[in-house]
Each structure stands twice: as structure tokens, then as C-alpha cells.
Amino acid sequence: MEDASNESGAAAYDVHRLGLGMYGVLRFGREADVARGAAARSAPATDEPPPVTRQAPGAFLLAGVAAELEWTRLIQCGYACLDTSAGDPPVMPGPSVLASKVGLRMGAGYSFSLVEFRVGALGVVPSAGSAFPDPIWSPDVLLRIGPRNVGWGELGFGAYDGSTALRPGAYVGGGGGRVDLVRVTGHLGIHLVNGLCCQTTLPFGLIAQLGVDRAISRSLIAGVDFKWEAALREVFAGGAHLTFLL
């Protein structure tokens, strides 16, 4: 990872990250949808996954939290080494430093049969020992068009998963497929890939995401994610997620 500077050479870090995120959606369906849901719950249980994933029209609330541990090691000293008044420049590479960051997001929206919108906000607060200790505050908005059980497209600013809740940005995305067979999703956006905002040199970069999901029961969906980040250097990452339907 590189911390760019328009006044001197960039500082480079060897970075390893491990994160965990959770979010929940509370939907307020119409009375007919509630009645259908009650009828479905009273039917005999089966081991077959749900055949469709169309969400009932109605309002909903969203809340989420993401946390990340970050091990950084300075391997190329940039602008931080310009001031040598306290002695000689530090020896490279430097010691490994452990830090953390926490992201919170909240929002509300409404789902129609073919359109869904959401408005909200998110914040990211790093620990004092982070290589990039600046907090980030961002809107978290989304417009989605298309049925979830067939295919859809979306346009958003903020986050679409736990990782981007810590590095928000503007993105486009979409997906398709029945989740009882296989559902594929993808996103491409411009994000604050280093988790640093609003300095003299803004470290925006591209993030591309590909996800694959499949229902393994009527109430559990499992999936894997693959990400590619490109700012001044390329980064590849992967993850897994579970979705519980209550």
C-alpha cells in the first residue's frame, strides 16, 4: 500500500488485513405479504431451498458494523522522513504495527416490485495507531432496479458490503440468477481504498467485486467474494459470508 504525496516521494507500507462485518435488514411488509409468510411458516417443513428471492414491497431499516485488524510495516519512507531534526531517518523496513478500524452504517429505504431505494450514512473510526488515522464520514445511498429473483442493476454511493463500509465510494453493480441454483453479483467503483480521506493527494482507487451465492436451506444462504483493488498498487482479496433469513 502506498501513501501518495504531492510534495515528496510516496511512503510504502506492507499491509495485512483481517476483517469481520455484520449487517441486518428489518423489513415491514404489507399485510398480504405477512399473511403469505405466516401461511408458509405453517406449511410442512422441507429441506428444499427457497425457489425465488423476490422481496415483498414495503419499508425497511438497515444497520451494520464492520471491524478490521491491520498489520502495517513501513518499507519505503516518503514525506515522513523529510524532518530529520530529531536525528537520522528511521531504518527501513520499520517494525510491524497493529491497529484497527471500525465502521458503522445506518439507513432506511423502500422496496417496490421492481425498484428499491435506500438513504443513510456511514462512519469509519480508525485506532490511534493506524497508519491512516483519519476518520471518514460518508452518505450511504442506493438505487436498485430489477427483480431480485431474475436480475437487477444498482447505482450507489457509500458501501455495498462489510469491506466497502471501511472504504466507501461511488459504484455500479448488478446481479442475476436464482439463489436456489446459483446467484452471481458484481460491483465496480471508485473508493477510498486506503481508508484515507481528504488530504492533499486523495488516494482514490478502483475496487472490483465478484460474488457467488447459493441457498443451502430455506433460511441460510452461503457465498464467497473475490475483490481486486487498484490504486498505486494492485491488491487481491477474498472472503466468505452467510445470510440468515428469519
The runs of H, that is alpha helices, within the chain are: 31-42
- Cα 135 to chain centroid distance, Å, stands at 16
Q: Are 73 and 96 in contact (CB under 8 A)?
A: yes
Q: Say how far apart CA 33 and CA 59 lie, in whole Å.
A: 13
Distance CA 63, CA 218 (A): 23
Domain spans of the chain? 2-41+53-244
Helix, strand, or coil (residue 81): helix
Q: What pLDDT, on the 0 to 100 scale, is given for residue 88? A: 61
| The pLDDT value given to residue 190 | 93
Tell me: domain 2-41+53-244, CATH 2.40.230, correct? yes
pLDDT along the chain (246 residues), means of 10: 55 79 84 43 45 68 93 71 57 77 95 93 88 85 90 95 92 92 94 65 80 90 90 76 84
At 107 the pLDDT is 97
What cell does 19 get? Answer: 476483517
Instruction: Say if CB 104 and CB 62 are below 8 A apart.
Output: no
Smallest CA-to-CA distance from 94 within 131, 127, 126 is with 131
The model carries a pTM of 0.77
Residue type, 182: V
Q: Which grid coordinates belong to 238?
A: 477474498
Residue 25: CA count within 13 A, CB half-sphere = 17
